[in-house]
Amino acid sequence: MKKNSVREFEDRRWKEGDQTLVFRHIEASQMVLKGQKVLDIGCGDGLFMQALAQKGATVSGVDISEEGAKKCQKKSLNVLVADITAEDLPYQDKTFDAVIMLDVLEHVYDPDGLLREAIRVSKQTIIISVPNFNSLPARFQVLLGKVPENNRPNKGHVYWFNYPVLTELLRRNHLKAEKISCNTFFENKPIVGNIMKYLCRIFPSVFALSFVVKANIKAP
């Protein structure tokens, strides 16, 4: 395997396409307050940074991809390039009010290590999102002999999350969940959507497609 394979993967990803605003961005933006100083780890092309800046937050970003950083710079966004999978974050302790990682932790072999760095540079709040790798659609795909979407090579996922794995990650890193949101399938359908949202809250490991968490750092 090439030494820079992760960077090359991410460079190709951002060279070939851009993000669109989806559930994780919309939900996470509601967890950020106007005037807060925020770090977006794995900021990619800067789409979410723009959304937070428009909300009145002061936003910085860091990403392993130079191609993603170039897109941020074209949007006049404050971004640094760093190998977040292997290096300490290039910021002092407690620099930011909130640190955000949207669909990032499933891309690294040591999510605890990156999360500890996020905690180090945050004063209080950590916001993360991860896909649910054993959602009901994924389980059906396995039964049909297919590889679930989140497990395919083009996704670049190396660590699998579900609800118990996510909550255990928070616990062992001394984070207290203030809010955990999830989205589900058919949620925009009349009547059926309300049922699916209810089932998602009751049985998140089965019915959630992804999770967005706002957590507070516990005092030592």
The pLDDT tens digits for 97-110 are 999 999 999 999 99
pTM: 0.94
Residues near 30 by Cβ (< 8 Å), separated by ≥ 6?
Answer: none
How many independent structural domains does the chain possess?
1
Residue 38 sits in a domain of what CATH number? 3.40.50.150
pLDDT level of residue 218 (50, 70, 90 thresholds): confident
- Quick: pLDDT tens for 165-209: 999 999 999 999 999 999 999 998 999 999 999 999 999 999 999
Residue 136 maps to a domain: no
For residue 1, the model assigns a pLDDT of 42
For residue 4, the model assigns a pLDDT of 55
Please give the mean pLDDT across all residues of the chain.
Answer: 94
Residue 145 maps to a domain: no
Residue 198 maps to a domain: no
Residue 144 maps to a domain: no
Token code pair at residue 105: 């932790």
User: Of 23, 34, 40, which is closest to residue 126 (Cα–Cα)?
Assistant: 40
Residues near 11 by Cβ (< 8 Å), separated by ≥ 6?
Answer: 65, 66, 67, 68
**Per-residue b or e along 83-121, where b marks 16 or more CB atoms closer than 10 Å to that residue's CB:** ebbeeebebeeebbbbbbbbbbbbbbeebeebbebbbbb
Residue 192 maps to a domain: no
Residue 170: CA count within 13 A, CB half-sphere: 26
CA dihedral 44, 50, 55, 58 (to 10 degrees): 70
Range of 93's domain? 5-131+156-184+209-217
Token code pair at residue 10: 């991410």
Residue 81 maps to a domain: yes
Whether 213 shows a pLDDT value over 70: the answer reads: yes
Whether 39 shows a pLDDT value over 90: the answer reads: yes
Residue 164 maps to a domain: yes
Residue 213 maps to a domain: yes
